[in-house]
Structure 1
């Protein structure tokens, strides 16, 4: 390494530690020149500071030593040498190379300066008064830092300067060790000196790395330039030259053959006319006019152009050329011609077109994908802001598509998606756009549609077209759609807002039973924001103690005593007040919070049951989402065991929607709990799906008759008949019955007469906290069964 030779006066290990870069000659010579130039730029300022500080020292301490003015003259001489070197560098062209000798010369100059400044504290510090000592030490430290960083581009000079100045300062402090605080100042001086030396090394390495990177970049640029020139001159597919009038002055044989060009037959035809001639009588779905116009404009200008795509027909096939050219002046400098090269990029163009198709269109259905649709929607928003008219955005989702995949396989699911996509595309106009956003989600942009009636008519026609049976490998499947609609600009004037509002309308359509069309309204957005706020609140509700249980007694109709209690979850939020379970339970289910909340409810209910009389049963509702947990039975039984509650005193209430999940897993979980002694009740019986098959396959302990049948039971013979049938069915299957929502004595008496075992409702008691329900039970008179 050439740079290491410049440090031959230092030990080899120090040389290697201090070297700012590694380079071979003559690159190292170039680096040395740049190092010296960078250092010389700061030389005037550095010498001015040296002269100022020198005169200041002489003025402050002139009465003490007799030799101080000789020291000042020596400093002026050294400073003058530095300024002279700077002046010579200014008057000459920037030096491109420098020898190691120049680096050593700079290091010697810096060393002399360091020696001069180091002599001041070494000779004067110990004998100087305390104020002068502080002045000497302050100037020395300042000169160490300033000089080290000013010389950082030449680390040899910086090291020489800092070591000699710091060494002189250390000698002065050692001589004054008998003075208070000097030892501390000596330690600080050594520490700061080492920090400066380390900083100089780091900054010098950084500067050297920059020099090496710049040199490497310049070298790479030279190589690239050579390769490009070689490509233009020797490896082009074909060469061409066009005069300022546009006619071919020179062309390669390959170009002549491709254009069927003969200089003798067509001496006045230009390159643009020859390419246009190849398209006569050809039909390839490409309009070449815009490309040829771009070529004509480029040839009429004065700037080089590169890779300008041009289509032409060769041998009856569409081909693509990329033309590159630069202007050249004739020898008389009166006219500008063009000299260039052409490359056949047909395969590249086809590959780019295919990549564009894959990037903007869905592979399965051929519809626009989400990216292309959002781009088109953005264009529509821009047009609308310019007053070009509105549009309607439809977000569509196939209802229960997952069941098709699960039941018939993903292959048939893909066939269904393709069929639905084709039917959608057949229902729209050419200016509209249909897209598949992902999965079974689609979107349609109806350009110019601004009337609800118009969109409603279109949606009805679309639904009729979609909801026709599809033949999927011999399977007849009828697809169904839910649709959400948002209008531009009424419901938003940018892409994210429109998509969000159409999604909210789609969510509303699904919530209302699927297979519907819903138009966005501001209330949907408000509900969505509240739903998000409720979800955030629920996440902290458990830890914040906002959730609590209320207990509603269940009454034994025949004996007139409390037979059990149902644990009801309540949420009293500091932000929202008292939130209805009908509102926050669905939010907890969708947010995935119901598992933790459900186990918390179960544990609190079991703990409460332990404080109540031993024969009372505690009923706890289970969410359908909790059955997604394969360890649900283990967790429930662990809670029961941990609370010390007999399993027979716990009753789990489930709804019929549980059986829409994986029925085998659900049944296995219920059977395990039932065999462990836990009671199982079927809640809201008769309001959901047909439950007779489940009643046959699982021995429920109790059927709970929904309040919707109890409220009209006195005025509706039909409701009374249904309740009577349910009670008889339960008796035949050896199950108890509980009627919910009893609010009058007449209802309770009628239900008892029909054979209903237990009931609950406001007639008996409202939901109470644990203390109140304990007092309520204690206040009930003992009654024989």
Structure 2
């Protein structure tokens, strides 16, 4: 590689011919110095034009009415034309920095300056005879101001400025001489001489400083490149091309990086070497195309990254370079440095992959899914088509996670991801949103039937059994779909709409698919308002407890009451438990509300006869709380109610949600003497295993079976007979719920149910009304 002689870049003290631009010594690149001079004149072009036009306006205004109009306006037009023509070229290229300039460009500036000086110098020659003393003074001021401003502002061009000053002051002196002001003419001549000398001195100083700065920059560039080439890390190398983009003076490290000899690389085209086998096919990478464009435009570039195939393996190189020019401005080629950044690139790719893909399943994560949905919505808007977003939630996944542990749950999620990935086509993208939620971006949603088929296929595929670590696992899936832009014009709105549709699918028990409807948003808003009011209901004493009697099937005597929560809100009125209980469970409010019901029911039961029990419903949320047993003990202790008079009702869903943890809690309650009832038996996830592990005192038969049996439905009759027989064999009582007619009463009595609950014997009633039932019994007795 060629080395630059340090002496060639050292600044020299120029002689006056060089300062004036008449010669250019070979030992320095004077083209860049001349470019610095030209750039200064371009920057000052607007100011020069403004001053010239202002001066012309002042003199025309001063001589109007004194000098002949044709002469005056002719001079003004000539001066303005010359000034505008000179400024035109400079203003047009004012924003572009000249890199190199020739002597001819300097001489062009000298010519224009001389023309401007001649046009302005004509003023004192033509109009001095028409001046009053005051006007003469003003013209003197204008001319000397122009001379002084040019001398100080444009001294970077000594020859052009010198000609301007000499012509202007000579014309000014001759004008003063012509009207008999001899001493003033001498002063003008002396003033012009001093300004010329000052201009030449300032111009010489500027040129010396400019050449020194450029020489220093050249040295710094060379030193920087050399330091990078010989850095101890050995990771960087230098490269250089000639004007035809072929390698010259190949660095040994550059050749080593390519796995080739320096002789093989010398005079070879740089682009061909970097392209490798792709050179013939023309299949170039984007980085190589950008490099070719920069080389073609002869532009500097920095940190340009492109792939290079070496030994059959792709490496990533980072290149930086600048064009080289000789003192005449001729292009010599490029000189630059390069380094192998393959390790950094792979690390960055890995980080980028981690930022956009889920680490557990390998699916796109929420970020990438959101971006893909945004792109799909943009495409749909552009082509006036439709896209869709499907939100998927796994059913019964939490039960598996809780019972078998998170490692099994994680492996199950990977199997779910594999099945989802296998269902996707190029028109869909599936990703994991978090937890057991997944999302599918459907780029073409013009066919509603196709969306429904995709959703049904997802539900059916994910509901098939899984074999994970010798466990056969069964889960399901719920799907909610929103179509854009109909259901949302932004990504956030469309995801929100799909979430609302999914919420309806979950409310339906899972395993279903729903599409967003505007009414869902209304329901969501109602639910939000309901939750806000529910959070304040306890402290505002808006809750009450009603009691529904449970009687013996034979004698019809009251055996217990079921405590039922009621809510009366000042704004919402009487709110059905079917509406507010699910909201309370989702908002984690059921715990404090349930504890309040338990305390209130126990205190009320103390006002009843000693043989009457009270039944309180317990949700899965309450049963899973670590302090639930303690709250039961506290309620019994404060009310002084015997434990055998309290019956807690649970549904089968608590076992599916909490696994074996529910059995342990129920065993603790049984040990206290509390009675247990299994509510809604046969309507949920029935399992005889729970009945064998937990000693329930009562099994409650759901109203749907009672109604069916009264109509002689074979299935309902068979179920009730089976439940009664099983309960009798296990020493449990059976309670028929929802008995409203005499026919239903006769049917359940005939089938062997021991207890009856329903409107036929009493609706849920406030506590005082429940107490009056005992007064009536005493009066009858």
Per the normalisation by structure 2, the TM-score is 0.64
1:234 counterpart = 2:231: no
Contact 1:561 1:782 in 2 (8 A): no
Tell me how far apart the structure 2 counterparts of residues 253 and 547 of structure 1 sit (CA, whole Å): 87
Change beyond 3 A, Cα 1:312–1:388: farther
SS in 2 for 1:645: coil
Correspondent of 2:620 among 601, 609, 624: 624
Q: Please list the CA deviations of residues 120-140 of structure 1 after superposition, one character each: whole Å capped at 9, or x if unmatched.
A: xxxxxxxxxxxxxxxxxxxxx
Tell me how far apart the structure 2 counterparts of residues 370 and 228 of structure 1 sit (CA, whole Å): 47
Tell me how far apart the structure 2 counterparts of residues 466 and 627 of structure 1 sit (CA, whole Å): 30
SS in 2 for 1:380: helix
Match for residue 270 of structure 2? 271
SS in 1 for 2:677: strand
Shift of 1:367: 2.4
Tell me how far apart the structure 2 counterparts of residues 703 and 389 of structure 1 sit (CA, whole Å): 56
Tell me how far apart the structure 1 counterparts of residues 725 and 474 of structure 2 sit (CA, whole Å): 39
Shift of 1:541: 0.8
Match for residue 768 of structure 1? 765
Change beyond 3 A, Cα 1:290–1:514: same
Match for residue 73 of structure 1? none
Shift of 1:652: 1.7
Contact 2:399 2:657 in 1 (8 A): no
Change beyond 3 A, Cα 1:637–1:465: closer
1:252 counterpart = 2:251: yes
Match for residue 748 of structure 1? 745
1:511 counterpart = 2:507: yes
- After superposing the two structures, state which structure 1 stretch, 437-446 or 263-272, moved more: 263-272
Tell me how far apart the structure 2 counterparts of residues 655 and 690 of structure 1 sit (CA, whole Å): 10
Contact 2:259 2:310 in 1 (8 A): no
Match for residue 82 of structure 1? none
Correspondent of 1:500 among 496, 500, 522: 496
1:424 counterpart = 2:425: no
Contact 2:248 2:267 in 1 (8 A): no
Tell me how far apart the structure 1 counterparts of residues 609 and 222 of structure 2 sit (CA, whole Å): 98
Structure 2 residue ranges without an equivalent (≥5): 1-217, 230-235
1:739 counterpart = 2:736: yes
Shift of 1:573: 1.8
Match for residue 315 of structure 1? 311
Change beyond 3 A, Cα 1:359–1:675: closer
Change beyond 3 A, Cα 1:540–1:305: same
Match for residue 755 of structure 2? 758
Shift of 1:775: 3.1
Change beyond 3 A, Cα 1:287–1:662: same
Contact 1:742 1:762 in 2 (8 A): yes
Tell me how far apart the structure 2 counterparts of residues 731 and 615 of structure 1 sit (CA, whole Å): 22
Shift of 1:349: 1.7
Shift of 1:547: 1.3
Match for residue 577 of structure 2? 581
Question: What number of residue pairs does the alignment pair up?
Answer: 557
| 1:45-84 map, 5 Å | none
Q: Which has the larger radius of gyration?
A: 2
Match for residue 29 of structure 2? none
Tell me how far apart the structure 1 counterparts of residues 509 and 338 of structure 2 sit (CA, whole Å): 63
Match for residue 338 of structure 2? 342
- After superposing the two structures, state which structure 1 stretch, 675-684 or 571-580, moved more: 675-684
SS in 2 for 1:653: strand
Correspondent of 2:640 among 615, 619, 644: 644
Match for residue 375 of structure 1? 371
Match for residue 690 of structure 1? 686
Match for residue 529 of structure 1? 525
Contact 2:369 2:431 in 1 (8 A): yes
Change beyond 3 A, Cα 1:767–1:481: closer
Correspondent of 1:611 among 583, 607, 611: 607
| 1:635-674 map, 5 Å | 635-662=631-658, 664-674=660-670
SS in 2 for 1:490: coil
SS in 2 for 1:763: coil
SS in 2 for 1:598: helix
Q: Please list the CA deviations of residues 528-571 of structure 1 after superposition, one character each: whole Å capped at 9, or x if unmatched.
A: 33223222221111011111111222334444443332211011
- After superposing the two structures, state which structure 1 stretch, 534-543 or 706-715, moved more: 706-715
Correspondent of 2:284 among 266, 288, 304: 288
Q: Please list the CA deviations of residues 37-57 of structure 1 after superposition, one character each: whole Å capped at 9, or x if unmatched.
A: xxxxxxxxxxxxxxxxxxxxx
Contact 1:368 1:434 in 2 (8 A): yes
Q: Please list the CA deviations of residues 393-414 of structure 1 after superposition, one character each: whole Å capped at 9, or x if unmatched.
A: 2222333334555566655544
Match for residue 457 of structure 1? 453
SS in 2 for 1:393: strand
Tell me how far apart the structure 1 counterparts of residues 706 and 755 of structure 2 sit (CA, whole Å): 13
Tell me how far apart the structure 2 counterparts of residues 597 and 462 of structure 1 sit (CA, whole Å): 38
Change beyond 3 A, Cα 1:618–1:315: closer
Per the normalisation by structure 1, the TM-score is 0.64
Tell me how far apart the structure 1 counterparts of residues 481 and 510 of structure 2 sit (CA, whole Å): 14
SS in 1 for 2:278: coil
Change beyond 3 A, Cα 1:577–1:300: farther
Tell me how far apart the structure 1 counterparts of residues 700 and 466 of structure 2 sit (CA, whole Å): 41
SS in 2 for 1:603: helix
Change beyond 3 A, Cα 1:675–1:435: closer
Contact 2:655 2:662 in 1 (8 A): yes
Change beyond 3 A, Cα 1:273–1:737: closer
SS in 2 for 1:379: helix
Correspondent of 2:478 among 470, 477, 482: 482
SS in 1 for 2:744: helix
Q: Please list the CA deviations of residues 302-338 of structure 1 after superposition, one character each: whole Å capped at 9, or x if unmatched.
A: 6532100122223333222111123444212344753
SS in 2 for 1:532: helix
The answer to which structure, 1 or 2, has the higher relative contact order (CA under 8 A, 6+ apart) is 2
Contact 2:400 2:409 in 1 (8 A): yes
Tell me how far apart the structure 1 counterparts of residues 713 and 684 of structure 2 sit (CA, whole Å): 21
Change beyond 3 A, Cα 1:751–1:782: farther
1:396 counterpart = 2:395: no
Tell me how far apart the structure 1 counterparts of residues 524 and 591 of structure 2 sit (CA, whole Å): 22
Tell me how far apart the structure 1 counterparts of residues 289 and 426 of structure 2 sit (CA, whole Å): 28
| 1:108-257 map, 5 Å | 231-236=224-229, 237-243=236-242, 245-248=244-247, 250-256=249-255
Tell me how far apart the structure 2 counterparts of residues 698 and 264 of structure 1 sit (CA, whole Å): 88
Change beyond 3 A, Cα 1:689–1:352: closer
Tell me how far apart the structure 1 counterparts of residues 674 and 659 of structure 2 sit (CA, whole Å): 19
Tell me how far apart the structure 2 counterparts of residues 531 and 306 of structure 1 sit (CA, whole Å): 58
Shift of 1:753: 5.2
Match for residue 707 of structure 2? 711
1:778 counterpart = 2:775: yes
Tell me how far apart the structure 2 counterparts of residues 509 and 550 of structure 1 sit (CA, whole Å): 32
SS in 2 for 1:500: helix
Shift of 1:663: 5.4
Tell me how far apart the structure 1 counterparts of residues 221 and 330 of structure 2 sit (CA, whole Å): 28
Q: Please list the CA deviations of residues 68-94 of structure 1 after superposition, one character each: whole Å capped at 9, or x if unmatched.
A: xxxxxxxxxxxxxxxxxxxxxxxxxxx
